[in-house]
Structure 1
Amino acid sequence: MLPKPHRASIVFYVSDINRTEAFYNEVLGLDLARQEGAEPFWLSGTLDHGLEIIFFEMEGKRGNTPALVFDITDGGIDDVVAALAEKGVTIVTPVAEAPGGWSADFLDPDGFGLGLWQAADKPRSLK
């Protein structure tokens, strides 16, 4: 059985992180904080009901977001991706290094992009 995700974040890929920071902080009044681990930096914040929103400046993925990303809290991302592939799930991006950990992207049956992320200090395999 696959480990159950314990929380999810909505991730946006944007063309100008500084413009995004100004809009969400100054226009919408959200409290996004600058984070290190991606260049130039990335933004994160938590809405009142606990949903985390994350912004990365990135070419190529814009327009395919926001993306729902599930946090694999206990690790085992390699096992999860392998199990999804065995069940016929389309893996878009295999496990790769991501800010603070590891990530992978896949499609649901209707073609919606979903992602997985786990912290770097957790084991990639639980087997």
Structure 2
Amino acid sequence: MDVTQSAMLDHEPTHQGCRVVAPVLARIGDKWSVLVVMLLSRQSCRFNELKRRIDGISQRMLTLTLRGLERDGLVLRTVTPSVPPRVDYALTELGRSLCGPVIALGQWASAHVDEIEAAQAAFDARAEG
């Protein structure tokens, strides 16, 4: 058994571990959450600015995404009293700690997109045949 296999066995998921981690992975693995985290990693943003910068997201989906990220402690929502009220969103320290893994995952996907597309085409050809 090599070192990688040994390390994988040390981290074998348990039922309890999966139950606890699955909702967190669902949140941070959601495409909208990833995009929001990456945009907020650069600077805080207002709602409409996020909506303009995230192509294809609906107002409802952005609201749900921001609420979920806020609930998970990844995003801080700050209301500044004015007319109309100003609402800014920023990453918390916990949210900033997510940027490294998200960037690494994006880099991995970019580096392997050709291989993934080739595998998908081969799979689809077998399924049709």
| TM-score clears 0.5 | no
Q: What's the TM-score once normalised by structure 1's chain length?
A: 0.26
**Does 1 or 2 have the higher relative contact order (CA < 8 Å, sep 6+)?**
1
Per residue, is there more helix in 1 or in 2? 2
Structure 1 or 2, whichever has the larger Rg, is 2
Q: What's the TM-score once normalised by structure 2's chain length?
A: 0.25
